[in-house]
A and B are shown apart, each in its own frame.
Chain A
Amino acid sequence: MEDEKIIELFFKGLQEAIEETKKKYDSYCKSISINILNNKEDVEECVLDSYLKLWENIPPTRPNSLKAYLGKIVRNTSLNRAKQKNTKKYNSNLERTLTELEEILSDSKNIDDSLNEKILIDAINNFLKEESKENRVIFVKRYFYLKEIKEIAKEENKKENSVKSSLFRTRNKLKIYLEKEGINI
């Protein structure tokens, strides 16, 4: 079923909306959650919670992309669960991802805690817009979808080292870009 029709089902308050969403996006949701939680039971619960959140949010929200919107809910729910359970201790992929992201963060002690998150995310989106598609896809696969480097390499027909180099360069460029924009994170 097309997304627009599924969204209409949500707006009509029909339970079929969840069933259709599940039918269409269940494996997508689980693939996001498993990269963060690394535990099947947690993944099942998080994905179910995500459907409920979707039900609560639509309406009034009418997402431009149901898939991306749901993906964000699943990712957020899974990250919260990971935090509660201190998952990074037993999910080495999550731990490595966090370590990689540290490279982008400023060493400075003058960090602006009041930084408007919207400004930061707008800057990141602008940065991604300027990046080559290849680098952008690899970056998003790693830091949004939290995919393993090995998996990204396979999906992109690249050597693991190429993926690592691409991520390294993109992280450095993002750091420099944010500094130039006067954003100190």
Chain B
Amino acid sequence: MKNEKFLELLNNIDDKYILEADRKKRKNSKRNLLLTIAASFVLVFGITLKNGTINNIINYENNLNTMSSPSSEPRRILQYNKNIYEFLENENSVKKEDLDKELGEIKFDLLEDEKNYNKDLSATFGIGGKIYSLKEYNKDFRVAVVYRNKIYICEKVDEIDKKVNIEEYFKNANLINLTKYIEVYDHFGMEKQKVIELESAKELLSSLEKSEDIILSDEDYEKIASAQGNGGSFLLKAVLKDKTTFDFYILPELQLVMVGDNTFKITDSAKEKILNLTKDINKKNLIKNIAF
């Protein structure tokens, strides 16, 4: 084949890769952007730090909203073993006896020096803290950081070099076995709307595992922002056996699930399940919580 013919043939590259490559990386990379947000103390929508991140980043990146409000602290993240983790808010919910092996020490401050962005054992918080695996969790889901006599759980939200595989993530998290039930909240986590009991929760999680990768366009981001403001997005808290929660977002009509900092397209059957599970929720309850 001649090179010219080959070049022509590359016209048939999958649309999603063409769109993916069209996005100009901002001056800051995704992680840098995340850190910029952290450093600037701005948290779009002013919601709780935990797992509200994807929405914040999306909306920050696209300047889609005007509902910013100041937050009291930067986003706390840790980079270890090519994973990006977020510090959960519930420090000391694990005890010393829950810790397993020491994995390393946080050496590099991500807020201090740009050069640290590519480094493992770096964080925006807890420099000098020790990272431990947890007896109950795979380290590709959660690790612990012991810092100033407190123990923090850090939950994986992304990977440094590639997109998270949702099936692998759910398996590593052992979510289906550990979940006792799921609480459904409005997008902003202000008010619990209902509880999904064990069997339905397991069915839902199993169907979400089959979600597919998706590359979002600017229009998708606009739709997401609109859904978040119009009751089209739910915060789901899977309550695990140790009483900690695993939080994620579902936007049924848009057929999206947001896990950590990644968004996936849910299957038709998962969409049907979640629509069915949430049909008794009064949309007015979801919208009223936005006015704060």
Contacts and interface: CB of A to CB of B under 8 A. Distances in A.
A101 B6 contact: yes
A120 B9 contact: yes
A28 B22 contact: yes
Contacts of A117: 9, 12
Contacts of A133: 20, 161-163
B18 A128 contact: no
A119 B27 CA distance: 38
B200 to A, nearest CB: 33
B17 A156 contact: no
Interface in B4-36: 4, 6-22, 24-25, 27-29
Interface residues of B, number: 31
A172 interface: no
Interface in A59-97: 64-65, 67-69, 71-72, 75-76, 79, 83, 97
A161 B34 CA distance: 26
A67 to B, nearest CB: 6
B219 interface: yes
A41 interface: no
Given A105-B3, A185-B1, A76 B21 contact: no
Q: How large is the interface on A (under 10, 10 to 19, 20 to 34, 35 or more residues)?
A: 35 or more
B21 A145 contact: yes
Contacts of B219: 2-3
Contacts of B24: 155
Interface in A117-170: 117, 120-121, 124-125, 128, 132-134, 136-137, 140-141, 143-145, 155-157
A105 B20 contact: no
Contact of A140 (B9, B18, B217): B18
A52 interface: no
A68 B15 contact: yes
Given A132-B162, A144-B18, A156 B13 contact: no
A115 to B, nearest CB: 7
Given A65-B15, A65-B217, A134-B161, A98 B22 contact: no
Contact of A67 (B14, B29, B217): B217
B3 A98 contact: yes
A143 B219 CA distance: 26
Contacts of A9: none
A57 B19 CA distance: 20
A58 interface: no
B11 A75 contact: yes
Contacts of B19: 65, 67-68
Contact of A132 (B7, B161, B217): B161
Given A68-B18, A132-B161, A137-B20, A143 B11 contact: no
A64 B15 CA distance: 8
A132 to B, nearest CB: 5
A111 B13 contact: no
29 contacts: A2-B219, A3-B219, A28-B22, A67-B217, A68-B19, A71-B18, A79-B8, A98-B4, A98-B7, A99-B3, A101-B7, A104-B6, A115-B1, A117-B9, A121-B12, A124-B10, A125-B13, A125-B14, A125-B17, A128-B17, A133-B162, A136-B20, A140-B13, A140-B18, A140-B20, A157-B25, A157-B27, A157-B28, A185-B6
